[in-house]
Amino acid sequence: MNKSRPVTLQSLARQLGLNVSTVSRVLNGSEDDARAAAAPDTVKRVRALAAELQYQTNPHAASLKTRRSRTIGVLVPRLSDMVLATIYEGIDEAAAEHGYLTFVSNTQDAPDKQRKLIDMALARRVDGLILGDAHSHEGAAPNPLLADLAQRDVPFVLVSRHADDHCAVTCDDLEGGRLAAEHLLAMGHRRIAVMVGEPFTSTGRDRSAGFFAACARHGVQVPAQWRIESPFDTDAGRLVGARLLAGPDRPTAIFAVNDFLAVGVMGAAREHGLEAGRDVAVVGYNDTPLAGALPIGLTTIHSPMHEMGRLGLELLLQKIDGGAPRSVRLAPSLVVRGSSDRPIPG
């Protein structure tokens, strides 16, 4: 074969002695398409020759034949969030392995912007969506945007947060909250405040609920004034932390439902002449790289963020192929560092 000319489906089919449609379904279709088109040995022969001759799929032509764009839309509140960026890296890595391209949009957690960006993505014929910004409220009606997508049979998977009964890949945040509580209780803490995050996020609700339930089993109640809602950023952690630590009647420990809040609390402690780990215990959540790089390491709950993204993509591909995968909760683990590793005196 003259390798100076572009390798085409037709030239591959001639060399293999197969129909062009068979070669196309093997190289441009899904795994199910390939299995239906040819025997396993033939599929291997087609792919081996395509690799040897460096055949490049024409995405536009493939999408016309398969009615797939091999593109995935990803929506997150903000990609500047290290947690979401790590999840997206997992999504994008797994997508590339399956021959898919991803693009990400920032919604700022605003429902109107979520709907607008989803409509824009669907207008560009994405094959499916991965949503990291799902809103839900305990005891409230189902999320109307997600219900609409489901009714329209749009393939989508939620990551990080869950909502209603939609397919989601999350950390087991109830268990993560329990791990944080058991650690602080084992260190002797009974005066504990909790920064619960935003009320419309399952992450904040589940982490704090798991924490409160574990405390209750040990006869410890977190008072209402020490159950504080806030945004998830460092500035909010600093502001709330300053309020909690300002007077003599302060908690001996603070659990923040993400690392950014916890870092803000540690900054507030420093500004009040206090030291995290010595004067007040601080525990965060997610185990971002920053947690272990601080002068006083942050105790935190490790969440498998990268795996969450990869698995979210795998479940979405199952949905695109007509499957009905079940939600997955990944196991968290406790990582103890200097911000909470000392038992309380007495």
Closest CA to 184 of 247, 226, 232, 231: 226
Place of tokens 């989601």: 168
Q: What is the pLDDT of residues 167-226, one digit of tens each?
A: 999 999 999 999 999 999 999 999 999 999 999 999 999 999 999 999 999 999 999 999
Whether residue 60 is predicted with pLDDT greater than 70 in this model: the reply is no
Q: What is the pLDDT of residues 281-335, one digit of tens each?
A: 999 999 999 999 999 999 999 999 999 999 999 999 999 988 999 999 999 999 9
Whether residue 3 is predicted with pLDDT greater than 60 in this model: the reply is no
Q: What is the pLDDT of residues 233-284, one digit of tens each?
A: 999 999 999 999 998 889 999 999 999 999 999 999 999 999 999 999 999 9
Q: How far apart are CA 263 and CA 291, in angstroms?
A: 8
Tell me, what amino acid is at 239?
L
Q: What is the DSSP letter of 276?
A: B
Closest CA to 94 of 74, 68, 80, 67: 74
Q: How far apart are CA 195 and CA 181, in angstroms?
A: 13
- What secondary structure does DSSP assign to 265-298, as a single string? HHHHHHHTT--BTTTBEEEEEE--GGGGTSSSPP
Q: What is the mean pLDDT of the chain?
A: 91
* Residue 1 pLDDT class (50, 70, 90 cuts): very low
Closest CA to 265 of 291, 301, 293: 291
Instruction: Give the pLDDT confidence score for residue 346 in this predicted structure.
Output: 60
| 182 in Cβ contact with 216 (< 8 Å) | no
Whether residue 92 is predicted with pLDDT greater than 50 in this model: the reply is yes
For range 41-64, the mean pLDDT: 76
Provide the total of helices (H) and of strands (E) in the chain, helices listed first: 13, 12
Does 97 or 61 have the greater pLDDT score?
A: 97
Whether residue 2 is predicted with pLDDT greater than 50 in this model: the reply is no
Q: What is the pLDDT of residues 161-173, one digit of tens each?
A: 999 999 999 999 9
| Lowest mean per-residue pLDDT among 4-13, 45-54, 282-291 | 4-13
Q: How far apart are CA 269 and CA 273, in angstroms?
A: 6
In percent, the amount of the chain with pLDDT more than 70 equals 95
Whether residue 62 is predicted with pLDDT greater than 60 in this model: the reply is no
Closest CA to 191 of 260, 263, 248: 248
* Residue 31 pLDDT class (50, 70, 90 cuts): confident
For range 149-161, the mean pLDDT: 95
